Each structure stands twice: as C-alpha cells, then as structure tokens.
Amino acid sequence: MLVPLTGGASRISVFGIIGGSNIYRVNALTGDPNHFGVMLAVPLLALTPVYLRLPRRHRLKWPLAAVLAFLLLVDIATFSRSGGVGLIAGALVLVVPYRRFFRSKQFLVPLGALAVVLLGVLYTHSHFFETFLGQRFSTNGRSTSAHFAVYDFIGQILHMHPLLGLGNNNFAVYYEFVTGKANFGAHSYWVAVVVESGLLGLVLWILFLRYVFVRLLAARRLGRLLDRLGDAEGPHVRPLAYGLTAALVGTIAANFFYLTMQFYYFYAFLAFALALPVVFGARARE
C-alpha cells in the first residue's frame, strides 16, 4: 500500500496561534488526515517484519526499506495522534519477537536517515512546530474533548438499550440534539459499536476478532513448520503473520479514538489475514 504524498492535503487553523497561518496535513485520497494516519499503520506494521527477515542481499531489501521510510514520513505528515497510538501499540507486539533486529543496521540506518530529514525540517521551522505540536498534544483542545466526551454516551445507552443499542448508523441521529450536527460520528469505533449494537454486538465483534487472532496464530505456527521443512516461502510466512497481528492490534488501538474499522480497507485487510494460513497451508501438505 503506497499512497502518494501529493494525493491531497487537509487545511486546518491552529486557533490563530501562529498569526493566522495554516497547516497542511497529508490525507491522500481519504479526505481526512486522521483516517489516513490510522490506515498507514497497516502496511508499516505488516511489512516491517518481512523487511527485517529478508536476507541482506535480497533484491527487495533496500527498495522495501525505502518504501517503509517513505510511508513513515507520510504518516508523520498526517499529524494524526490516533495514527501514532496505532503505530506504538502495533510496535509493542513486535518488540519481543524482533528485539534483536531493532538494534541492527538494517533497522537503524533507514530510521536514522529519516530522523536526519525530520530534524532538518524541525530546525528550519522550529517555532512553527513548537506551537503546532503543543496544540496537537494538548488535552484541553476542542478536538481532544470530542474524542473523550463520546464515552459518556455509553452509560446512557446501556441503561436504556443494553442488549441491542440504538441500531446501526443511529448514533448521529439520536445525538443530533446534543451535537447540533446531523452527521456527527462517534469519534470512536468502539463507542459506535456499543451505542449502535449494544452489548450483544460488542461481544460478537470481540469473538470475531478473537477468531482472526487465532487464525494469525495458526499462520505463525505454519511458518515455523515450513521453515523446518525447508520450504522456500517458509521464512516469509511467519514474519508476515507477526506483521499482520501487529497491524490488527494497532488498528484496534487507534480506533478507540477514531473510526476506520468500518471502512472497506479494513475488511480487505481481514481477508488477507484470514487467507494467509489457507494459502500457505497447502504447501505444508505437499
């Protein structure tokens, strides 16, 4: 998944702090930089273990390193806090199985090159970024309040409609009198699930995600088996399974403060995750 940096930009004001200047955030074709930031966590987390396990002289080694560095740069350019939460959560999944690779040149060199570029930009625009980052990491801003305020709705709905909630897509309709907007989203996928489908919908969704995690565990075990059998594709299956697991964890974490798990890209991602043990399972039976 390689989305061009020139695909679009989102213009927001920093409440006049920078003398009325505007900030442009990358959104590509998504229409929202926060959506884009969360989406980019999938290729970043899924491909990083594959890159780390490629042999040093593999023809895709450095092209993949360049792609990952570019995607990380674009993700940073979205200035998405939810995207950052997803990346951190997914990276924690990879820390234990790939901890030795995080000290290697193949990881530190591309990351160091990206850091040099970012430090150069920060140095030349220090006042701009100091003001902007202060605004983005503030916990008192209007945007931050909206992300946390929607959790207050959960108690109300569980009191009135605990099992089935308000019904699909009824969050905005029911709370229009509170928000003043007919299309106001829940600002959290998990809030939307509880409010619109109740405890029954939440339990069913958690059970489905557990099934996806179980299938990814099966893919990791299959990769280990193919390695022992000497299969040529064996070394790639386990890293990809770990990467998809990290991407799923990252997306789940990011969606506590945003809604992208209802988009088509997430269902395509689930299809790849569920297909992994099926596709490579045939090689173990040959």
**Single-letter amino acid, residue 176:** E
Write out the DSSP string of 42-76.
HHHHHHHHHHHHS-TT-TTHHHHHHHHHHHHHHHH
Q: What percent of the chain has pLDDT over 70?
A: 78
Span 213-254, pLDDT tens digits: 999 999 999 999 999 888 888 889 999 999 999 999 999 999
Indicate the range of 150-164, 194-208, 221-235 predicted with least confidence. Answer: 150-164
Q: What is the pTM of this model?
A: 0.83
Q: N- to C-terminal Cα distance for the chain?
A: 31
Sign of CA dihedral 13, 15, 16, 17: negative
Quote the pLDDT of residue 131.
66
Give the SS3 label for residue 23: strand
- At 22-75, the pLDDT tens digits run 567 788 878 789 999 999 999 999 999 999 999 988 899 999 999 999 999 999
φ and ψ of 9, to 5 deg: -150, 150
Crossing angle of the two packed helices 189-229 and 264-285, in degrees rounded to 10: 20
Please give the Cα distance from 251 to 233 (Å, whole number): 27
Long-range CB pairs of 118-121 (<8 Å, 24+ gap) are: 118/73, 118/76
